[in-house]
């Protein structure tokens, strides 16, 4: 597959997924309101006194890396992250491209106290309601696949449940779009979702467009303490790390401290 087509293909698959869930729409919305607002404050969890808050990701596979963890145990992984000192846990729920599941999030919620982020390609409010019902405290919005109005709407829906979404950007235009939509937590994805190439310097280039009252998160390509130091130095409060920690959880303290 042409790398440039991956994101388009993922979103096309999401539309089919949502169409297949249409019969559950009203029930999920009702269940979300019955579940009520989360009591776990994701934004507050990302503001630490020293080093970086780490959003540690439960991730079995990805289109760029293939299978990352052959003996994958989502609950065991999440509990280990909590013990290591993660600020929050990101759970991949995309089935077709990342071998994730909303069921993993439900299982982790039973065992872990930290805020949980639903990591998926959100294009419909149904997915936000589903996230809340599963026990998520926040969710990802990707600026590349949403209009400003869609982002504003999804942010507002999340806030009805005290879920402050992480809004992901990859260029200056997306930064301005996210800010115009009212995003408070902004993640710079150093990986271009259109072709899956990674450039760690991107966070620094885009940080200058993000006001200081926002929470800045560095995402993707973070493998060493030197990498996380680079992100800390350009204003990040937090980092989201998946593949590196899935392969070697012992890197956690190095990444958190921003030093080798």
Catalytic machinery residues:
57, 59, 119, 168, 189, 219-220
CA distance 250 to 189: 23
CA distance 43 to 124: 23
Asked if 183 and 153 touch (Cβ cutoff 8 Å), the reply is no
Q: Which of 137, 124, 219, 216 is nearest to 179 (CA)?
A: 216
User: Tokens 């680079």 belong to which residue?
Assistant: 230
Q: Which of 41, 53, 46 is nearest to 85 (CA)?
A: 53
CA distance 9 to 161: 30
Residue 70, φ and ψ in degrees, nearest 5: -70, -40
User: Considering Cα of 29, then 33, then 34, then 37, what sign does the dihedral take?
Assistant: positive
């Amino acid at each position: 597959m042409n790398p440039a087509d991956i994101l388009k293909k993922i979103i096309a698959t999401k539309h089919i997924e949502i169409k297949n869930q249409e019969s559950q729409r009203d029930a999920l919305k009702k269940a979300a309101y019955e579940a009520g607002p989360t009591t776990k404050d994701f934004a507050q969890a990302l503001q630490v006194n020293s080093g970086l808050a780490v959003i540690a990701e439960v991730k079995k596979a990805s289109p760029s890396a293939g299978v990352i963890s052959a003996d994958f145990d989502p609950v065991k992984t999440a509990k280990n992250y909590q013990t290591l000192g993660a600020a929050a846990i990101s759970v991949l729920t995309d089935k077709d491209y990342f071998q994730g599941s909303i069921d993993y999030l439900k299982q982790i919620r039973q065992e872990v106290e930290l805020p949980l982020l639903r990591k998926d390609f959100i294009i419909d409010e149904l997915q936000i309601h589903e996230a809340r019902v599963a026990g998520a405290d926040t969710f990802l919005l990707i600026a590349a696949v949403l209009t400003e109005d869609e982002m504003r709407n999804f942010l507002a829906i999340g806030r009805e449940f005290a879920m402050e979404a992480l809004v992901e950007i990859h260029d200056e235009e997306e930064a301005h779009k996210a800010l115009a939509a009212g995003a408070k937590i902004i993640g710079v994805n150093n990986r271009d979702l259109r072709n899956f190439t990674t450039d760690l310097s991107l966070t620094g280039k885009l940080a200058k467009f993000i006001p200081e009252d926002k929470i800045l998160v560095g995402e993707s390509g973070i493998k060493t303490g030197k990498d996380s130091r680079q992100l800390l130095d350009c204003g990040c409060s937090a980092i989201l790390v998946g593949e590196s920690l899935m392969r070697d959880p012992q890197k956690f303290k190095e990444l958190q401290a921003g030093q080798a």
